[in-house]
Amino acid sequence: MNRRILLTTALAMGAALLAPAAQAEWKPTRPIELVVHSGPGGGNDVMGRALVAAIDEAKLSPVRIQVSNKVGGGGATAASYLADKKGDPHVIGIFTSVWITNPLVQQEANVSIRELTPISLMVLEPALMVVRADSPYKTMTELMDAAKANPGKMKQSGGSPLARDALVRTVLQAKTGGRWAFISFPSGGERISALLGGHVDMMVIEPQEAGELIRSGKIRALAQVTESRLPDFKDIPTLKEAGFDVPNPPQPRGVIGPPGMAPDVLAYYVDLIQRANKSPGWQKFLRDGILEEKLLGPKETLEFLTQTETQMRGILTESGVKLVR
């Protein structure tokens, strides 16, 4: 743990001790800025806007919440923006797993997610391992055997080498001894096109993206990258059930604040997120997006993030990515 975090934690604890028992409740007095790191239409942007819509619909916030896109650097721009807002109670942001992995591999991404104030983990995004419908591989075992029999010949389309789909490949390769190519495409549309066009053999995809293509018989899911089966995909085994007991690299999304957020401010946001989580708008968003609800408090979120960081560190080293921290 670095010195800055120790200091922040100590200060926060000190502030907590000094605060009177019946603490004056903090309430926002001007519009809240909700920072997301993706452009309009990206994963975090969609989640941020859905959260704001759910909060508005249930009238949970006395002030307006404004989504602000701080695009760039795979979360680094948004994270450093939040880090600069230390002490500003009217700025929060939405984090995802690249906020954890990016600082590990990029010198410039110098804000660790643990320096900020985690407020609540909200969702875990599940994933599916899919192949084209006319692919000869009907089960996960067949696919992995083929990959082992033809080392380096098969291909998976995906995003950045830090993203969850790449990490799933790494853990599967380590488990099975098979080797296949991971081909990066910048957008989800291009990744799916490469699979549908038969230019790659497999893809790790979010269920919401895959749902309609599975239903119309264009692609087939072989396994789900989840701890237990999703209600929408009852017939598809998890990786573990399919015989591949590998660690599931999680794709978490949640809410985070600037460094050293005051306890009363933190308490306000934790309460807001808890109520937003129960709101009908948010529950519908989770259902439509086939997302796993995973609400954690600030302490548990920090623990989760720390654990995930350790796990990612291991997997990234395994996949040969150079770590800088």
Partner 1 sequence: MDIFAGLAHGFSVALMPSNLLWCLVGCFLGTIVGILPGLGPAATIAMLLPMTYSMSPASGIIMLTGIYYGAKYGGSTTSILLNMPGESSSVVTCIDGYQMARKGRAGAALGIAAIASFIAGSFGIIALSLMAPPIAAFALSFSSPEYFALMALGLALVVLLAGDSLVKGLIALLVGLWLTSIGTDLFTSQSRFTFGQTSLLSGLDFMVVAIGVFAITEVLSSISDQEETQVLPVPKGLRNLLPNWEELKACRFAFANGSIVGFIIGVLPGAGASIASFISYGIERAFSRHPEKFGTGLPEGVAAPEGANNADTGGALIPLLTLGIPGGGTTAILLSALVLWGVKPGPLMMTESPDVFWGLVASLYIGNVMLLILNLPMVPLFAQILRIPVYILHPIIFGVSVIGAYSVAGRVFDVLMLAGFGALGFAMARLKFPVAPLVLGFVLGDAMERALRQSLMMSQGDLSILISRPISAGMLIFAVGVLFLPLLPRFRRLKEAAG
78 or 265, CB closer to partner 1?
78
End-to-end CA distance of the chain: 12
Can you tell me the distance from the alpha carbon of 202 to that of 168, in angstroms, rounded to the nearest whole number?
Answer: 12
Can you tell me the distance from the alpha carbon of 53 to that of 56, in angstroms, rounded to the nearest whole number?
Answer: 5
Instruction: Look at residues 133, 125, 127, 128 and name the one whose alpha carbon lies nearest to residue 195.
Output: 133
- Closest approach, Cβ 243 to partner 1, in A, equals 28
- β-bridge partners, 223: 129
67 or 272, CB closer to partner 1?
67
266 or 312, CB closer to partner 1?
312
- Closest approach, Cβ 268 to partner 1, in A, equals 23
CA 185 to chain centre: 19
188 or 243, CB closer to partner 1?
188
- As separate numbers, helices (DSSP H) first and strands (DSSP E) second, the chain gives 11, 11
- Closest approach, Cβ 208 to partner 1, in A, equals 7
Instruction: Look at residues 244, 210, 33, 52 and name the one whose alpha carbon lies nearest to residue 130.
Output: 210
- Closest approach, Cβ 255 to partner 1, in A, equals 19
- β-bridge partners, 93: 35, 256
- Closest approach, Cβ 195 to partner 1, in A, equals 9
29 or 216, CB closer to partner 1?
216
Q: Which residues bind partner 1 (CB under 8 A)?
A: 39-42, 45-46, 49-50, 52-53, 56, 67-74, 76-77, 80, 102, 105-110, 152-153, 155, 160-162, 181, 183-190, 192-194, 196-200, 208-209, 211-213, 215-216, 218, 288-289, 321-322
- Closest approach, Cβ 72 to partner 1, in A, equals 3
Residue 104 near residue 316 (C-beta atoms within 8 A): yes
- Closest approach, Cβ 53 to partner 1, in A, equals 5
CA 167 to chain centre: 13
- Closest approach, Cβ 7 to partner 1, in A, equals 22
Structure tokens, 312 = 């990612």
Can you tell me the distance from the alpha carbon of 254 to that of 10, in angstroms, rounded to the nearest whole number?
Answer: 24
In DSSP notation, 298-321 reads HHHHHHHHHHHHHHHHHHHHHTTP
106 or 306, CB closer to partner 1?
106
CB atoms within 10 A of CB 120: 21
CA dihedral 142, 225, 153, 132 (to 10 degrees): 70
80 or 141, CB closer to partner 1?
80
113 or 213, CB closer to partner 1?
213
